[in-house]
Structure 1
Amino acid sequence: MFRSPPSDQPMSADGPSVVPAATVVVFRHAAEGGPPELLMLQRSDGMRFAGGAAVFPGGRVDPADRELARRILPGEAEEIAAARIAAIRETLEESGLMIATRQPVTAQEAREARALLMEVGRLDIVLERFGWELEPQSLTFFAHWCPLWEKAFDTRFFVVDLGTGAVDVTVDATENSRLFWTSAADALAMADSGEITVIFPTRRNLERLAQYASHAEALADIAAHPVSRINPHTEQRDDGEWLVIPEGLGYPVLGQLKATARRG
């Protein structure tokens, strides 16, 4: 049976050819109290991966992300360090939100930075232009998902807290058609009612995130569970074929009927 390598390592040579990627769950305080709200994007219908689905900001790790990671995070495993950089870059590109900087960023600066990023495609040039320093380790490594098929996304998930509701974000209409803030519980209710669709990993992560009343609770729970590459697999049960994940990684729901699970 194939064994995935540790989460700080790339997929092994005897595994499928996969695409390293990163996703970040951005928390903010709810305006009227209650559970934290999370930033979600609705993918454009024509996108190859998860077209039309609601997802967290993210995308593939670029070579320039690895170059920057080697410079500013030399002591961390490259796969995780580069994923941190990719998560920051993709969040700016997809939502116009600049996260994990040591300096405060105004809405106007974020708009200008996003325009530059769209032009040059590299976060390091943006940082140099605006004189920003990153705090990439403000992103907490949360989970790691990778289906065992060719060209699957090998995705590392992070969480980060804005600590405020006062943020200015705008959807990237090339890849995403809608941007919204919602609690994890409300996102699950929207999925159940058919208002949004979510793929299998997103639903499992929303169920996990719905357990947390704050970002601090999330960090405590994340620290209590190991992060390892989750390779969903099928399991035959009395009521049909299920898509399932392992126990012990912090997830309250471990699977669903494969016929009802959207995988990408």
Structure 2
Amino acid sequence: MSNDTQSSGAAGPEEIPAATIVIFRDCPEGRDPQMLMTVRSRNLTFAGGMAVFPGGRVDPADFELGETVASRSGGAITTDEAAHQIAAIRETLEETGLVLGLTGAIDATRAREARAMLTKTEALAPVLDAFDWSLDLSQITPFARWFPKNEDIPRVYDTRFYLANLGTGAVDVSIDHAENTHLFWTSARNALEAAERGEIKLIFPTRRNLERLALFASFDEARAQAEAIPVRTITPQIDTSSGKPMLTILRDAGYPVTEEQLDRVARG
């Protein structure tokens, strides 16, 4: 977490590092793959009541473990990137009960026990030690990074998105009863259609990511595109050249839709 100061000396918004995972699972009968989404509690300051992917802020303990991972990687990964991937793994276990990005003796019972321990320790490292698990960051694929800077709000989230694959859909998930009110599996296309019907609400980054995810018929297709397009920080900009204010993003970052009329945008 950082608190930047503008050149004028006035304090800018608090910039919060965050991470989230788009969790794929196979869908029977060859239909579009599904992704796990959660509806955030309306009481939360950021994206309250919105449907999002599981995730949250990067904690100091994530950076501590990330430093260890980076030092052992021989330069293959930075502390900052490792910390974000660790946060995504930790938040997924905490919010959904799913164990991703880890190896060892993992089953449903141990996953429940690890989740219960995580709620007490609020750090992943003690859980890894207790269950003799190891990180396997090769299971996590960097997909995107969104940093919607806004000087008018007290805090902004610099969020990195990752992809992971469960393969089979035979898994149990449950809400954490703290930040989320509902977990559900849906294809990207169905999520967008549900939003159009008013059944769920989507903030601007989630909508754009769902549109991109709807391009893919499988996890492998999504991962291939993510690996082919280097992750660049997406900071939406307001463009008034057409006469109507539009919120726009990079045109070469893999997104099929790169703008939306500003007065229609839902923000966190």
Using the size of structure 1 for normalisation, the TM-score is 0.92
> What is the Cα deviation at residue 120 of structure 1?
1.1
> Deviations for 1:9-66, whole angstroms, at most 9, x for unmatched residues?
x998768641111011001111333111101000011110000000001000001001
CA distance in 2: counterparts of 1:127 and 1:201, whole angstroms: 32
> What is the Cα deviation at residue 69 of structure 1?
1.2
* 1:105 aligned residue: 106
The percent identity for this pair of structures is 49
Among candidates 239, 245, 251, match of residue 241 of structure 1: 245
Aligned-residue RMSD, C-alpha: 1.7
* 2:207 aligned residue: 203
Question: Gapped runs of 5+ residues in structure 1?
Answer: 1-9
CA distance in 1: counterparts of 2:70 and 2:105, whole angstroms: 21
> What is the Cα deviation at residue 263 of structure 1?
1.4
> What is the Cα deviation at residue 220 of structure 1?
1.4
> What is the Cα deviation at residue 137 of structure 1?
2.8
Which range is displaced more, 17-26 or 74-83? 74-83
Q: How do 1:144-159 and structure 2 match up within 5 A? A: 144-149=145-150, 151-159=155-163
Judging by fraction of residues, say which structure has more strand: 2
Report the residue type matching 2:61 in the other structure.
A
Extract structure 1 runs of 4+ deviating beyond 3 A. 10-17
Matched, 1:59 2:56: yes
CA distance in 1: counterparts of 2:208 and 2:198, whole angstroms: 17
> What is the Cα deviation at residue 173 of structure 1?
1.5
Report the residue type matching 1:171 in the other structure.
I
Report the residue type matching 2:134 in the other structure.
E
* 2:9 aligned residue: none
CA distance in 2: counterparts of 1:228 and 1:12, whole angstroms: 21
Using the size of structure 2 for normalisation, the TM-score is 0.91
> Deviations for 1:217-236, whole angstroms, at most 9, x for unmatched residues?
01111122121110001111
> Deviations for 1:145-177, whole angstroms, at most 9, x for unmatched residues?
001135200001100111111111101121000
CA contact (8 A) 1:234 1:244 kept: yes
CA distance in 1: counterparts of 2:28 and 2:136, whole angstroms: 26
CA contact (8 A) 1:146 1:229 kept: yes
